[in-house]
A and B are shown apart, each in its own frame.
Chain A
Amino acid sequence: MQWTYFIYFAVAAAICWAAGALFAWREDGYRWAIAASCTGLLIFAAFIAGMWLSLERPPLRTMGETRLWYSFFLPAAGLVTYMRRRYKWILSFAVLLSLVFVCINLFKPEIHNKALMPALQSPWFAPHVIVYMIAYAVLGAATLAAVYLLARPAQGKQSQVMELCDSLVYVGLAFVTIGMLFGAIWAKAAWGHYWSWDPKETWAAATWMAYIIYIHFRLHHPSRHKAAMWLLVFGFLLLQICWFGVNYLPSAGNSVHVYG
């Protein structure tokens, strides 16, 4: 598998996902939506698996490679949410956001060579990053729901959608916590200490705290929806800084989390 084939897999998957998202809007389209989305996911997964095999390492090192997983998990999270809650719009939003990241990878690919520096050669590498990517996708879905509500404040459905946000945040925060703790255990083995306040770690802590605040706020004020939605947007903003924004901050000059 070569990176140059990405466009074929990406286009095929995108067509399936788009079809799935369209079917979701139709009353009788439930099964078709699931079938189309699953096909898209399979195609995309085949590409990731092929890259893994040909690179002889998990494709998780570069930003482009993590975007690959994010583009995969986002429609997956959207699909699971759709199957559980039957929201028509969630697939469209998830697919749209996923396509943004697919396009970034198409137009600004990054080098994908086989080399994996010794610090990344650890059994913790794949779980640490994959768990985080799932978390980002799930929290991305929660943010989409919040933005949808902020843009179209539908009175009747609001508490339903807030409930959806809560369950997505619970799942997302569980994964963020696991990703962070796996990272801590790995850091102890690789760098000598479990937490060094490296810029990436600092922003991971900030992100984690923002979602902790959200959960406690929701428990204390279940009816203050608007503030809760803004909290979700704020948390997701911190998450973006943690994921890639940190590379552009002057404070990250000596981060040990930069792998090109």
Chain B
Amino acid sequence: MWKHPWGYAEGLTICGGLLLTGIMLQFAVGKVELGRLSYPFGLIAGALFLILLIVLHVASRRAGLLRWLSGQVAAITAVSALLLLVIIMGLTRQLPAYEDVLSEASARHNLSMENPAGRMGFMQMTSAWPFALLFLYMLLILGLVTLRRLSRFRLKDLGFALNHLGLFTALFAAAFGSGDLRRLRMTAPLNSPEWRAVDERNEIVELPLAVELKSFGIDEYPPKLMLMDNSSGAILPPGRPAGVEVEASPAVLELAGWQVEVVKYFPAAAALINSDTTLFAEMEMEGSAAAVYARVRDANGAALREGWVSCGSFMFPPIPLPLSDKVSLIMPDREPRRFSSEVTVYTKGGDRRRALIEVNRPMAIDGWQIYQLSYDQARGRWSRYSVFELVRDPWLPIVYAGIGMMLAGAVFLFLSKPRKE
């Protein structure tokens, strides 16, 4: 071993050494605090890494050992070692990076000091020293091979350059920019500007912008009718539950052998509940629920039962229609098609913008992106507040540049022919 040229044994030994060093560091000083990499430290660390890369690249022209670092064996062993950690990560339940695994709070979750995976940092893999060291080593190798190929670039290397430089750029920005990533949660009440949000630790942060919720709404899918087992509460038939959508009335629907005649269908109705009867009246109001007056026949066409069935809301209870001792016709909660918040956002600079924020359609303003996250689940459509996630990631354009290069590189990979043997 350690004789030139180096092979797998040497490559794996280096990775093993880094892994051990990482585990020892983890025991000695605890996990990597990525939050410390916030501006300007992330920028400085990134710059130092690039300088180190260039120095090693220049030096590798003289020293053969350094040249080994930009070879295939170094790449294969480094990616393999990192793959091992990623697999461990995939098999171990991960905790959020901000949580203190060894604290009392975590001990309650049975993740005590004795847990070896927790102590080695494997339950918060991305902020564990072994992962950090192997990741930086792999990034170094990737950077060196990219520099080596770029320093004598020819057009036929374009695919190689796009793939390797793209991956390097994306990973570099993702890693050194991770300290500058801000993710905050804001609960905005109706008609009252909110400029405070909380971070992961529930600490209040004041923002340079304010969000005023003008209105919140949920579009729902049409209600569905299903059959429920009265004793177990399971949806029937067991294992492959069946349901039919109610879209209009009158209609005759077929549900797992039963014939359901929809006599009346009110998308929005209010219930009038007496001691022995329940009636529904069509009415659009706060808390109104969908209701169906159904007449149900069995397979032979004999009329069994008729009555109201409703999914209920925060105002009204759900109403099932018992068909027999064993089975009831029910209407589960309607599934949301769309949540949306109409907002006005004010910035410190005096800017003022209106927007509609939906899932998958965030709003971008002043370097922040505002996402629809949640609402008052109990009140549903009539929620009086909306919960937003506010994200700021100044390194994002660099990551996207890397992703763009990789996408172009993938096209080259698709078209490339493997080497002939």
Contact = CB atoms under 8 A, between A and B. Distances in A.
Nearest to A214: B76
A122 interface: yes
A153 interface: no
If over half of A's interface residues share one DSSP class (helix, strand or loop), that class is named, otherwise mixed; here it is helix
Interface string B125-166: 110000000000000000000000000000000000000000
A219 interface: yes
Interface string A172-212: 01110110010011001111111101010011011001101
A163 B359 contact: no
Central interface residue in B94, B361, B413, by most chain A CB within 10 Å: B413
A172 to B, nearest CB: 10
Instruction: Name the 9 nearest CB pairs between A and B, nearest first.
Output: A166-B418, A174-B414, A118-B359, A220-B72, A174-B413, A115-B335, A177-B410, A174-B410, A202-B90
Contacts of A181: 403, 406-407, 410
A249 B91 contact: yes
Interface residues of B, number: 58
Contacts of B92: 251
Interface in B207-254: 221, 224, 240-241, 243, 245
Contacts of A220: 72-73, 76
B359 A121 contact: yes
Given A163-B420, A174-B414, A193 B90 contact: no
Nearest to A177: B410
5 contacts: A167-B417, A170-B414, A170-B416, A171-B414, A192-B369
Contacts of B245: 113-114
A192 B75 CA distance: 32
B348 interface: no
B369 A170 contact: no
B403 A185 contact: yes
A157 interface: no
Nearest to A165: B418
A103 interface: no
Interface in A93-123: 109, 111, 113-119, 121-122
Interface string B397-417: 001000100110111011011
B82 interface: yes
B382 interface: no
A193 B413 CA distance: 27
Interface of B: 72-73, 75-76, 79-80, 82-83, 86-87, 89-94, 125-126, 174, 181, 183, 221, 224, 240-241, 243, 245, 335-339, 358-362, 369, 371, 389, 391, 393, 396, 399, 403, 406-407, 409-411, 413-414, 416-421
A119 B90 contact: no
Given A111-B240, A119-B360, 14 more contacts: A114-B221, A115-B335, A170-B414, A171-B414, A175-B414, A185-B403, A190-B359, A192-B183, A193-B183, A203-B90, A206-B90, A216-B72, A222-B419, A223-B421
Given A241-B90, A253-B93, A177 B80 contact: no
Contacts of B421: 159, 162-163, 222-223
Given A173-B413, A202-B86, A178 B183 contact: no
A170 B413 contact: yes
Given A121-B338, A178-B407, A213 B80 contact: yes
A195 to B, nearest CB: 7
Contacts of A8: none
A205 B86 contact: yes
Contacts of A194: 174, 396, 399, 403
Interface in A144-166: 159, 162-163, 166
A114 B221 CA distance: 9
Nearest to B360: A122
A251 B86 contact: no
A97 B24 CA distance: 47
A119 B407 contact: no
Given A216-B76, A222-B421, A189 B413 contact: no
A258 to B, nearest CB: 15
Contacts of B243: 111, 113
A217 interface: yes
A246 B94 CA distance: 14
A190 B360 contact: yes
A177 B338 contact: no
A178 B75 CA distance: 22
Nearest to B97: A197
B418 A163 contact: yes
Contacts of A238: 87
A250 B94 CA distance: 10
Given A122-B360, A202-B90, A209 B82 contact: yes
